[in-house]
């Protein structure tokens, strides 16, 4: 499977946002990861619709929006209108999952569903055939720069084998604590879309780091 890299803007230099968006593109990223936090679903607040609109104006890459917010349904139309190409929301929000997936698709975006480290694969199993992407969080959502949780690897394996046995090929995305070493572990387990924030944006050689991740074989 082709490995795609989605640098997380949460770790970029916000004073030079346009340059950072351009840097990710010229360094070979496949999409840009945009983390929205509301201070309720997670204990942090990041950025939202006006910043997404600004990024959309300069980005040549698809925008991969990760909603860490309560009531995602209430905001989906506005996020799509503001430039989201993929919208991923959390299973743990307790929203109506089928309706939320349908709304994202009806608005014209790809739909993803995310699970936190302690949510088991079986909880998301029945939605595998409905989504374009499953996001397996490999840290507790809320902050960049945390350590990768290796106990999530089994879940990636389980989800990949569930998807294979159903004959559906969703993307499996991983997010949290990803560097070249942990990316390899997740790709070996079945992930094919790699989010990385602090590791990529703190690097002088982002292009080399992206190329290393993209060269991994699943």
Binding site for ligand DX5 (CB under 6 A): 8, 10-11, 33, 35, 66, 139, 141-146, 175-178, 195-199
Q: Crossing angle of helices 206-214/180-189, nearest 10°?
A: 20
Distance CA 65, CA 56 (A): 12
Closer of 16 and 126 to ligand DX5 (Cβ): 16
Q: How far is the CB of 42 from ligand DX5 (least distance, A)?
A: 7
Closer of 35 and 171 to Zn ion (Cβ): 35
Give the active site residue among 30, 64, 171, 175: 175
Give the active site residue among 35, 64, 132, 171: 35
CB 175 within 8 A of CB 142: no
CB 140 within 8 A of CB 117: yes
List the x/- string, 48-87, binding to Zn ion by CB under 5 A. ------------------x---------------------
Q: How far is the CB of 98 from ligand DX5 (least distance, A)?
A: 24
CB 31 within 8 A of CB 85: yes
Closer of 118 and 126 to ligand DX5 (Cβ): 118
* H-assigned helices in the chain: 17-26, 49-58, 76-81, 97-106, 153-166, 180-189, 198-201, 206-214
Distance CA 87, CA 121 (A): 20
To the query of whether residue 132 is one of the catalytic residues in this protein, the response is: no
Strand segments (E) across the chain: 4-7, 32-37, 63-68, 86-90, 110-115, 133-137, 171-175, 193-196
To the query of whether residue 35 is one of the catalytic residues in this protein, the response is: yes
Closer of 108 and 145 to ligand DX5 (Cβ): 145
Q: How far is the CB of 167 from ligand DX5 (least distance, A)?
A: 30
Residues of this chain that interact with Zn ion (CB under 5 A) are 35, 66, 175
Residues labelled catalytic: 35, 175
């Amino acid at each position: 499977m082709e490995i795609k890299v989605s640098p997380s803007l949460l770790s970029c230099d916000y004073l030079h946002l346009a340059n950072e968006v351009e840097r990710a593109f010229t360094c070979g990223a496949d999409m840009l990861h945009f983390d929205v936090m509301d201070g309720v679903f997670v204990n942090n607040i990041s950025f939202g619709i006006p910043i997404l609109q600004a990024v959309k104006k300069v980005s040549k890459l698809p925008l991969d929006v990760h909603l860490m917010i309560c009531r995602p349904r209430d905001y989906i139309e506005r996020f799509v209108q503001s430039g989201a190409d993929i919208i991923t929301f959390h299973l743990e929000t307790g929203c109506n999952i089928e309706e939320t997936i349908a709304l994202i698709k009806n608005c014209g975006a790809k739909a993803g569903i995310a699970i936190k480290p302690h949510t088991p694969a079986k909880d998301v199993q029945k939605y595998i055939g409905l989504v374009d992407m499953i996001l397996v969080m490999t840290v507790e959502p809320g902050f960049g720069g945390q350590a990768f949780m290796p106990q999530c690897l089994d879940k990636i394996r389980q989800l990949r084998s569930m998807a294979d046995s159903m004959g559906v090929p969703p993307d499996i995305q991983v997010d949290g604590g990803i560097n070249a070493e942990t990316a390899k572990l997740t790709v070996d387990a079945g992930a094919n879309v790699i989010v990385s924030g602090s590791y990529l944006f703190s690097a002088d050689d982002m292009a080399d780091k992206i190329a290393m991740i993209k060269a991994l074989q699943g």
